[in-house]
Structure 1
Amino acid sequence: MTTATVAPAKQVQPGAVPPPTEPTQGIPRWVWVLTILAGWIVVWSFTKGTDTLALSGQDQTDFHARLSDRVGTFGDNPVTQGIANFINAIIDSLRGLIATPTPPRPAPTIGWLGVTAVATWVGYAVANWRIALLVAASFLAFGLFGFWEDSIDLLIVTLVSVGFAVVIGFPLAILIALSSTAARVVTLGLDLLQTMPTFVYLIFVVILFGIGAPTAVICTLAYALPPIVRISGFGIRDVSPAAIEATDSLGQTTWQRLVKVQIPMARKTIILGLNQTILAALSMAIIASYINGPGLGKPVLSALTRNDFGAGLVPGLLIVLTGIMLDRTTTAASERSERVARGGGEDPRRRRLVLGALLVPVAVAVWYSRYAIDAANFPATTWGRSTADVANSWMGSITSVLDTVAGKLADLVSYGLLNPMESLLADSPWWLSCAGLLLLGVVIGGRKAIVPTVLCLAVIYQLDLWHDTMVVLNMTLVATLLVMVLGVVFGVWMARRRAVDLALRPLLDGGQTIPAFVYLIPVLALFGPTRFTAIVAAVIYAAPAAIKLVADGVRAVSPEVVEAGRSTGSTTWQEITKVQLPMAKGSLVLATNQGLLYVLAMVVIGGLVGAGALGYDVVFGLANGEYAGKGLAAGLSIVLLGIMIDRVMRSAAERAGAGAPARSGSVRSRGFGGWRRSG
């Protein structure tokens, strides 16, 4: 009689994700990936250049023409025109009040001195003296650098958009906090807003509302609405159950519980949602200018088209300064409200007296700015032009020094990665690329990736922009590879050296705050209008998030595990490659996912600087109504490409045991379905 030998069960750590049974189990995934690529290359060598479905920049298919006609029927709607007129009336009245001359007056109703005084008083009223000084310095900088009117226009569009976002978003936040069914429905809509690239729904909005301030406000509203709904809803829903039960025992109604308990206790989170909404609205400044929206985006976009680094740098930095001012003001207001709610802070009676006394000089400044021309229109200065000239000279020196290096780097990436990969992806017959991508998706993401990959590829094929989509996928993959190289190098460095973390983290935070168009200007000056310029800009845009994710993942590796490796005599290199990076595999996968999505978000902007493909199709469709269908199809192709990549990488993260879905809500800031990156 024989006795079967039972192998001991493998120990599973609490909370770990059990490894799924996959058809590739037993053979490393990288072997399958190389096998698929080898087979793809073999078939490609015999079929390249056939059935690529290539379409030139100004060509469109019958499907695109029909889609343009269908989209065009939504125009000339009295409802949308009424909304546009209403928004226009608000913007025009505010601009005439504090920004632009109101004939027959050669100046606004309230001049720059009065506006600065009122803004400074508001800064002190909601926060403190430090914020008041920051506000005053910011407003003075607007005038000293020669962009007073554009800066005030930017603030008007931003604050009007945020006002609408609060009116619409806060009730929705309450709704999703109180109803799980409503949460599912509303979240689906928010995911759609955050998934679709801004330029895509820009086409719809332009068709419905025309161009100008109303369109800028509506696009900014669509972009800025999700943060206040998601964050405020989370804060209201996450109030301590013990506090709710204690007050429920007193017999309060649902409305009383909401008004007297949940909203007051979630005040800090609600203000955080408002903060993120303001920064999201501000980050739309340059895109809004593309449709003739008022603000600082206009001079930045004008400088971008002229490749004038200095002329774009000054207003770009003023956008950043505006973001810092609004961010610090709302943050300080949140902290002060928290102190007051806890009974701290200065004496309320004394503060009211001080605020009342300060209204006197504010009123004098407002009155004086109505009658003195120098207090009404900001005196002309040469600060802006001088700074632009210095910046151009500085950039010219850098360009002359780095021109050779930049050219060699561009050639290395183009000939070493871009061209070979594009030839494989875009020059393969569509059916070969489709099969290769599907097989790679299954190997990387497992069975969960099959359905979304098949559906996305099928719809992309139906949209008649297959070749352009493959070109974009190629640039996205190359840019993501560069992002992950930076992510691993700097992420590991930050995780192992606290001093490096303290030095780099503010720079990474700043990189995530600056609007993409701002740092596109120096990149364009250095590399010229090419697809490599778009890739560099995408890398700069995506790298901060990837670096921080890798750093946090490596830092989270158990110190006991690291110490055990050291006790065996491991070198630093072995410690990093054999212990820390393998143990942080889930964070690496998540960082790759985020890198891909951040890079993909730059596709349309890249189309403005020579990247072509889908980005150019979207921009061209936006500028030419008869090509609106093609632009819309290009935008939807970007969305589908992002969804496919996101689902594959999420599934890969789950297979790696990273618990990516559980963490994604806290670390994802601009994903296909996650929170947007602020600013």
Structure 2
Amino acid sequence: MSATLTPPRTSPEPDTPTPVAPRRSLPRVVWAGVVVAVWIVVWVFTRGQNTLARPTRERTDLMDSFTGFRNDVIASRDTNPLIQFTYALGEWFVSVVDFFQRMLAEPNLPRPVPEIGWLGVTAIAAWIALAIAGWRISLLVAASFVSFGLFGYWSDSIDLLIVTFVAVAVSVVIGMPVAIWIASSRRAERPVTVVLDLMQTMPTFVYLLPIVLFFGIGASAAVVSTLIYAMPPLIRIAGHGIRTVSPTTIEATDSAGQTFWQRLRKVQLPMARPTIVVGLNQTIMAALAMATLAAYVNGPGLGKPVLNALVRVDIGGAFVPGALIVVMAIMLDRTTTAASQRGELIARGGGGSARQRRIVLGVAGVVTIVAVWLSRYSFWAAEFPATETGRAVADAVNTGADWVVATFGTLTEALKDAVTIGLLNPLEALLAQSPWWLSALAILALAFVFGRLRALLPTVVCLAGIRFFDLWNHAMQTLSMTLVATMLVMVLALVFGVWMARSPRADVAIRPFLDAGQTIPPFVYLIPVLALFGPSKFTAITAAIIYAAPAAIKLLADGVKAVSPTTLEASRASGATSWQEILKVQLPMARGSIVLAANQGLLFVLAMVVIGGLVGAGALGYDVVLGFSRSEEWGRGAVAGITIVLLGIMIDRIARASADYKAT
């Protein structure tokens, strides 16, 4: 019989400290709740005191100083070298756009039609698409150009394409060297990123004010504003593509003795070409998104009829040119994507017979030359025949809109009251009716709770700037509308994003609507929203939601979809239900995407602030619009624009710091 020996029990050494369980700190949500609770208690006793509210048309000395600056700039146009340079640059843009307009879109007097008529322009565009992308894209391009004339907007459509391509060409000339610079230098990346953040955070209406001042109105302002809005995506995405070329490949080129420029030209740029094309694609889409806003500075293109319809509250009149902008966006998106894919295919030795391809292009080239000749010497091929198709579609849309308003007016009014009374009014009362110092302290405390010092420091700077520019009360009203709209955007993002991630059919069905929502100019859907809800803050919030929700939904859907299938299989094997899987596995693991979606939603909503000022939202949006429309109020518009930028930077930095703090 064997005995089992057990080791004797030993008592712990006297000097050995007893392990202590780590202290668990309270969740950030709890601390945020404490801050808000204290804020509400103090607000009850101080409501309406020292809110810094001022009469709408009252101007401060700082506003008058900005207006004086504008007047000085205008007075020094003939003597100031900087103003002379910017106006000369603007005139060059005007001359380039005017040259292409007379060539393709408008009469080149004394010739009563353009140098190349609609048939020749359509043939040239289709041939280019055939050469770079294939016959399917060529048919799409031809059909798109025909639709421009069929619906009665040929000249406006070509004008928009001209402004877009001039702005994109300049974006490439300036943006690609900057992208190469930030890809090659970490020191350059940080300051350039700050500038890009500013360009993307600043609402477009805000920088229209200085652009008009320094470049004038018309095509010059349209090109420059489009350029500023469209350049950041190219720089960011192209720089990322060049920087992420395989280090092994770079080491191999270095060992072969290649210089920096040889490596860039023969290795990095070719290998980053797909990413660069994505950046170019995003730049083109951003340029088209400026179509309507460019009309505010008398820019040519489809934005003008959309803007005129807004003035008349003509839903159908805005729908037709707005739909053509969407058609143009789809055409350019599919063409650039297909051209990139075809380039990759040919580089790998595919793409079919080169001889057959040359024959097809040669025959198509002959047809194109004949079409150009006809468009120069035959009036029917030079000017698109007049049709009533566009007006008929507009009338049908107006009839449908009237029916919707009559049928669902009671429901929409109830929805507006529910959101306004239940969400917007309480939040606005807390933010805008608190003493300014109480709101500032509460925002600083929340910034520290969510992002610690990384969020606190920029929040201090931004709040100090908002206080200095002396539109505090309007800034708090704008912040309340922004937060309510973002909250509703995230509700939609959670519902539709999770649904798309878990159902391929839902993804296929919903994604085209999201693409359309991102492509349609804001003014197009602002008109039916205005017809449904009337001029109010809720109208501005609804338009902001339509503008911001697609990006947030896509980001959240992609993040949830990226959760490891192995993790999902493990949760299902343990008996988790669908709701448990969503709430305890997918959403927690997609937390980074959720934070990014909320961040982008906030910025997109803030970008709609000024447009909201046109439909009764008031606050900073109204101040910017007032400064834009009346020369004596220019200073108010400039100060309000700067305040919007500070709000955007503050929100962006808090969101980013919160995400980074959570990740650590």
- For Structure 1 versus Structure 2, the TM-score category normalised by the shorter chain is over 0.9
CA distance in 1, matches of 2:68, 2:172: 35
User: What letter matches 2:232 in structure 1?
Assistant: P
Q: Higher mean Cα deviation, 238-247 or 540-549?
A: 238-247
Deviates more, 1:204-213 or 1:346-355: 346-355
CA shift for structure 1 position 496: 3.0
1:124 to 124, 130, 150: 130
* Per-residue deviation, residues 588-638 of structure 1 (Å, max 9, x unmatched): 333322222221111111112221111111122122232222212111111
The equivalent residue for 2:651 is 645
Structure 2 residue aligned with 1:4: 17
Where does residue 677 of structure 1 map in the other structure? none
Q: Do 1:449 and 1:651's aligned partners in 2 also have CA atoms closer than 8 Å?
A: yes
Letter in 2 for 1:183: E
Output the CA distance in 1 between the equivalents of 2:170 and 2:583.
50
Map 1:222-621 to 2 at 5 A: 222-557=228-563, 570-621=576-627
How much does 1:301 deviate?
1.0
Question: What is the deviation of 1:262?
Answer: 1.9
**Greater Cα offset, 31-40 or 111-120:** 31-40
Note the C-alpha offset of 1:648: 1.6
Amino acid at match of 2:17: A
SS at match of 2:248: helix
Is 1:144 aligned with 2:150?
A: yes
C-alpha distance in 2 between matches for 1:189 and 1:477: 25
Contact 2:51 2:434 in 1 (8 A): yes
Report whether the alignment pairs 1:47 with 2:34. Answer: no
TM-score, normalisation: structure 1: 0.90
Task: Indicate how the Cα distance of structure 1 residues 560 and 160 shifts in structure 2: closer, same or farther if over 3 A, else same.
Answer: closer
Residues 358 and 489 (structure 1), Cα distance of their counterparts in 2 relative to 1, 3 Å cut:
closer
Compared with structure 1, are the counterparts of its residues 370 and 526 closer, same or farther at alpha carbon in structure 2 (3 Å cutoff)?
Answer: same
Aligned partners of 2:498 and 2:556 also within 8 Å? yes
Q: Secondary structure of the equivalent of 2:73?
A: coil
Please, which runs of 5 or more residues in structure 2 have no aligned partner? Answer: 1-13, 78-82
Greater mean deviation of Cα atoms: 629-638 or 562-571: 562-571
Q: Matches of 2:183 and 2:43 in 1, distance apart? A: 53
When residues 92 and 586 of structure 1 are mapped into structure 2, their CA distance, relative to the original with a 3 A threshold, is closer
2-side partners of 1:563 and 1:352: how far apart? Answer: 52
Residues 259 and 102 (structure 1 numbering): CA distance in 2 closer, same or farther, change over 3 Å?
same
Partners of 1:474 and 1:636 in 2: CA distance: 18
- Partners of 1:178 and 1:575 in 2: CA distance: 43
Task: State the structure with more CA Rg.
Answer: 2
Residue pair 2:201, 2:607 contacting (<8 A) in 1 also: no
Counterparts of 1:550 and 1:350, CA distance in 2: 45
Residue identity opposite 1:175 in structure 2: W
> Runs (4+) of structure 1 moved beyond 6 Å?
none
What corresponds to 1:215 in structure 2?
221
Q: Which moved more, 1:582-591 or 1:374-383?
A: 582-591
TM-aligned CA distance change 1:558 to 1:95, over 3 Å:
closer
Map of 1:70 onto structure 2:
69
Alpha carbons of 1:649 and 1:267: their partners in 2 closer, same or farther (altered >3 Å)? Answer: closer
Cα distance in 1 for residues equivalent to 2:16 and 2:243: 57
Any idea what the Cα deviations from partners look like across 1:95-126, whole Å, max 9, x if unmatched?
A: 11111112222211111111111111111111
| Residues 201, 645 of structure 2: 8 Å contact kept | yes
Distance in 2, matches of 1:582 and 1:338, equals 38
Secondary structure at 2:368's aligned position in 1? helix
Q: Secondary structure at the match of 1:334?
A: helix
Q: Which amino acid aligns with 1:46?
A: F
Farther off after superposition, 110-119 or 212-221? 110-119
Counterpart Cα distance in 2 of 1:394 and 1:360: 46
Distance 1:532 1:169 in 2: 38
**Contact 1:313–1:521 under 8 Å retained in 2:** no
Q: CA deviation at 1:7?
A: 5.0
Distance 1:245 1:434, change over 3 A: closer
% of aligned pairs identical?
A: 59
SS at match of 1:380: coil
* Alpha-carbon contact 1:72-1:207 (below 8 Å) kept: no
Distance 1:280 1:93 in 2: 24
Conserved in 2, the CA contact under 8 Å of 1:550 and 1:591? yes
Q: Supply the AA of the counterpart residue of 1:420.
A: P
The 2-side partners of 1:580 and 1:460 are apart by: 39
Normalising to structure 2: TM-score of the pair? 0.92
How large is the RMSD of aligned CA atoms in angstroms? 2.1
- Match of residue 11 from structure 2: none
Work out the number of aligned pairs and report it: 644
Cα distance change, pair 559–86 in 1 and its aligned pair in 2 (3 A)? closer
Partner of residue 210, structure 2: 204
- Compared CA separation, residues 93 and 419, structure 1 to 2 (3 A): same
User: CA, structure 1 residues 69+340, in 2 after alignment: closer, same or farther (shift >3 Å)?
Assistant: same
State the 1:330 CA deviation.
Answer: 0.9
CA deviations 1:544-597 (Å, max 9, x no partner) are: 222233333444445565566556655544443344434444433333222222
